[in-house]
């Protein structure tokens, strides 16, 4: 959606309505208190923060431990952290520098710049640089082979982009679907048109000019030796986690300090200028910070690299990052010329809640909320409000590989309240309370508490297909039928497994009873054949689930660079099970045709067969039937 499609925004409040951070002693007192409380809440070992305003660092501090085992404290100027997806802001900056130089064109087909491989052209519209920058390229989501456990096992940029090539599954420029692949591709384009390796280009054109001496995309030993180690808090202690080396470098490999990132924020807040150095022209920086794609004029959207969020009536542009229990956040408030960066090195549970809690408390303290004035009146329509209810899966999931199962934890539910408002229940992984939304237009709803908007899409037949809203980041979710939902399939799988597990011991009991009753000789050889087939298929199905879990656990390191050969053997099991299920189906057909047994026995065996067929349907639904890597 272009800027011309946007509605006029309501006028901003007067500047003096928001005071903002300015007194350094007060800032220190407040932030120290907030960090202490939030670190205790989530058992965070170490953290660091930098706060900038009007071209100066207002506050810079490290908290806790960089290495719990060695007792090393966090130094905000010398302790680098993995900043994860905050790296994308540096990649976007590099791309816009090359756009300025005329080496990249935002509206050009990406394939125009690629020589070693090409992006699929299965949609009429090409994928452009602008699509990649705003996460609207429409790529399939894949989570494996994103990182390696050692530098020697890392894939080259070209190896990752070809081995982990992600098909296009959505039309470009239409839906937001966050993509690490897309930003890795942007880094590769930087290499292609500049003639310089991505890491070297960023060092020379961004990190160097910004005096970011403790930052790098290439993991030099001089920085890795003082890296803040990631930790997991379990059993009342911090356990160090292994270092992950990102194969998706431009999307998430940067290590940096709070002091260094402060310089990057100052440069962006000053529209490309840092001290006496010009990294971008004023117009380019302004373009980067402007909303360049949104699913609806009332919703926050994407800039180039940054995404928007509104808190307490203030527009923020930001980016968070998560990898291996690190959680980071870079926030700019352009109107106030304020920037905030924070990162932690682990903790317990949903560690990303740290940054959310700190940001909310920061905004409530320095930019307190206006009393929400319901600017839009609730309207009532005669159509069926229940058409909005259902299960919606966040758009960022795999549609074609067995990684589709990860989408099961990204499902939201929308229910209709008695007063015809909607209740939005987000996935547990987001740890958000249910929210209530009232209808203010045909497909537009508003949050009763904070005024945020939620927008639905419908097809030509009036059926709801998508919903869009914002939870820290702009979200697009596709509607799925209840029969394909994760919770329904899980419940169904549990019932089926109970049936499979009861088959073998159940027939052992029958065998004992027959012995006692002197009926050890099998009367019906056909029935014996069917029983053996059922035991075989049940065993194969159970074996597959066990083998898959074992292969996943034992092959974690191999999965960072390729799909191990063990998975081929594992996925052969359900194929063999399918063959025997078909044989079982054919064996039961003459039983019904010739009425060989009593109706009860026929129904019993056919019922078990139906459970087996349902199990195959579940495997097919989640791409576990066949070799969907």
Residue 392 lies in a domain: yes
Is 433 inside a domain boundary?
A: yes
Q: Is residue 471 part of a domain?
A: yes
Q: Which residue has the higher pLDDT, 557 or 213?
A: 213
More confident residue, 165 or 382: 165
- Same domain for 570 and 455? no
Residues 6+ apart with CB under 8 A from 137: 127, 131, 168, 172, 177, 179, 182
Does residue 392 sit in the same domain as residue 420? yes
Number of structural domains the chain divides into: 3
Which is more confident, 524 or 322? Answer: 322
Residue 561 pLDDT class (50, 70, 90 cuts): low
pLDDT at 13 exceeding the cut of 60: no
Of 332, 366, 400, the last residue of a domain is: 366
Supply the pLDDT for residue 380: 67
- State whether 356 and 423 are in the same domain: no
Give the Cα separation of 328 and 345 in Å (integer): 9
Residue 9: is its pLDDT beyond 60? Answer: no
Residue 372 lies in a domain: no
Contacts of 386 (CB under 8 A, 6+ apart): 416
CATH number at residue 82: 3.40.710.10
Q: Which residues pair with 64 in a beta bridge?
A: 46
Q: What does the pLDDT look like over 467-493, one tens digit per residue?
A: 999 888 898 999 999 999 999 999 999
Residue 626 lies in a domain: no
Residue 371, pLDDT above cutoff 60? no
Task: Give yes or no: residues 156 and 244 share one domain.
Answer: yes
Q: Do 432 and 511 lie in a common domain?
A: no
- 498, 475: one domain: no
Q: What is the pLDDT of residue 6?
A: 39
Clarify whether residues 208 and 252 are in a common domain.
yes
Per the model's pLDDT, the better-predicted residue between 11 and 228 turns out to be: 228
What mean pLDDT is predicted for residues 352-369? 94
Whether 425 and 555 share a structural domain: no
Phi/psi of residue 473, nearest 5 degrees: -130, 145
User: What is the rounded CA–CA span in Å between residue 417 and residue 378?
Assistant: 15
Looking at residue 91, its pLDDT comes to: 99
Which of 439, 463, 480 corresponds to the end of one domain? Answer: 480
Asked whether residue 12 is domain-assigned, the answer is: no
Confidence of residue 114 (pLDDT cuts 50, 70, 90): very high
Q: List the domain range (segments joined by +) for residue 433.
A: 385-480
Shared domain for 97 and 186, answered yes or no, is: yes
pLDDT at 10: 38
Cα-trace Rg, the chain: 28
Question: Is the domain of 85 the same as that of 146?
Answer: yes
Q: Are residues 209 and 261 in the same domain?
A: yes
In percent, the amount of the chain with pLDDT more than 70 equals 90
Q: What is the pLDDT of residue 467?
A: 96
User: Do residues 169 and 240 both lie within one domain?
Assistant: yes
Across the range 583-610, mean pLDDT stands at 87
Helix 565-593 vs helix 599-621: crossing angle, to nearest 10: 150
Check: CB of residue 400 under 8 Å from CB of residue 628.
yes
Q: Is a pLDDT exceeding 90 seen at residue 602?
A: no
546/558 Cα distance (integer angstroms): 19
Domain finish residue from 456, 480, 504: 480
pLDDT at 79 over 50: yes
pLDDT band at 8 (very low <50, low <70, confident <90, very high): very low
Question: Rounded to whole angstroms, how far apart are CA atoms 66 and 78?
Answer: 11
Report yes or no on 511 lying in a domain: yes
Question: In this structure, are residues 135 and 306 in contact, taking their beta carbons and an 8 Å threshold?
Answer: no
Residue 11 has pLDDT above 70, yes or no: no
Q: Is residue 629 part of a domain?
A: no
What DSSP state is assigned to residue 76?
T
What average pLDDT does the structure give for the chain?
90
């Amino acid at each position: 959606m272009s800027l011309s499609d946007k509605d006029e925004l309501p006028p901003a409040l007067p500047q003096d309505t928001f005071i903002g951070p300015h007194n350094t002693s007060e800032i220190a007192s407040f932030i120290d208190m907030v960090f202490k409380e939030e670190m205790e809440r989530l058992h965070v070992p170490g953290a660091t923060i930098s706060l900038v305003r009007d071209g100066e660092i207002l506050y810079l501090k490290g908290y806790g431990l960089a290495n719990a085992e060695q007792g090393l404290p966090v130094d905000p100027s010398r302790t680098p952290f993995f900043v994860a997806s905050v790296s994308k802001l540096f990649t976007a900056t590099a791309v816009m520098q090359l756009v300025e130089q005329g080496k990249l064109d935002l509206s050009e087909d990406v394939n125009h710049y690629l020589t070693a491989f090409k992006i699929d052209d299965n949609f009429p519209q090409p994928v452009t640089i602008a699509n990649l920058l705003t996460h609207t390229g429409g790529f399939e989501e894949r989570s494996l082979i994103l990182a390696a456990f050692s530098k020697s096992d890392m894939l080259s940029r070209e190896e990752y982009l070809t081995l982990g090539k992600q098909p296009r599954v959505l039309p470009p420029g239409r839906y937001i679907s966050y993509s690490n692949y897309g930003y890795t591709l942007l880094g590769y384009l930087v290499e292609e048109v500049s003639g310089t390796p991505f890491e070297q280009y960023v060092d020379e054109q961004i990190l160097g000019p910004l005096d970011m001496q403790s930052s790098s995309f290439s993991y030099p030993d001089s920085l890795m030796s003082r890296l803040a180690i990631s930790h997991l808090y379990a059993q009342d202690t911090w356990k160090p986690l292994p270092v992950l080396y990102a194969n998706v470098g431009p999307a998430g490999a940067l290590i940096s300090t709070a002091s260094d990132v402060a310089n990057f924020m100052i440069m962006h807040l000053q529209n490309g200028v840092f001290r006496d150095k010009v990294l971008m022209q004023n117009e380019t920086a302004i373009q980067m910070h402007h909303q360049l794609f949104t699913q609806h004029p009332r919703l926050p959207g994407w800039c180039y690299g940054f995404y928007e969020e509104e808190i307490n009536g203030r527009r923020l542009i930001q980016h968070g990052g998560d990898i291996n229990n690190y959680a980071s956040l870079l926030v700019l408030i352009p109107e106030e010329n304020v920037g905030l960066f924070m990162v932690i090195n682990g903790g317990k549970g949903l560690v990303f809640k740290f940054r959310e809690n700190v940001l909310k408390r920061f905004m409530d303290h320095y930019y307190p909320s206006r009393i929400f004035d319901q600017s839009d009146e609730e309207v009532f329509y005669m159509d069926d409000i229940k058409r909005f209810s259902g299960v919606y899966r966040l758009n960022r999931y795999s549609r074609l590989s067995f990684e589709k199962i990860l989408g099961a934890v990204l499902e939201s539910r929308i229910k209709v309240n008695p007063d015809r408002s909607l209740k939005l229940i987000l996935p547990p992984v987001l740890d958000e309370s249910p929210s209530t939304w009232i209808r203010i237009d045909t497909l537009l709803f508003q949050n009763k508490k904070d005024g945020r908007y939620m927008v639905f899409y419908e097809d030509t037949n009036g059926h709801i297909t998508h919903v869009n809203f914002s939870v820290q980041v702009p979200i697009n979710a596709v509607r799925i039928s209840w029969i394909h939902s994760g919770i329904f399939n899980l419940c169904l799988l549990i019932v089926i497994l109970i049936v499979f597990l009861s088959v073998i011991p159940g027939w052992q009991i029958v065998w004992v009873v027959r012995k006692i009753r002197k009926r050890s000789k099998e009367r019906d050889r056909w029935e014996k054949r069917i029983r053996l087939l059922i035991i075989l298929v049940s065993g194969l199905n159970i074996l597959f689930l066990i083998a898959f879990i074992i292969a996943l656990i034992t092959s974690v390191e191999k999965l960072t660079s390729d799909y191990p050969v063990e998975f081929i053997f594992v996925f052969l099991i359900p194929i063999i099970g399918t063959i025997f299920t078909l044989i079982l189906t054919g064996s039961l057909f003459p039983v019904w045709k010739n009425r060989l047994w009593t109706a009860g026995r026929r129904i019993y065996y056919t019922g078990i067969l139906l459970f087996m067929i349902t199990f195959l349907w579940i495997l097919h639904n989640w791409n576990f039937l066949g070799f969907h890597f």
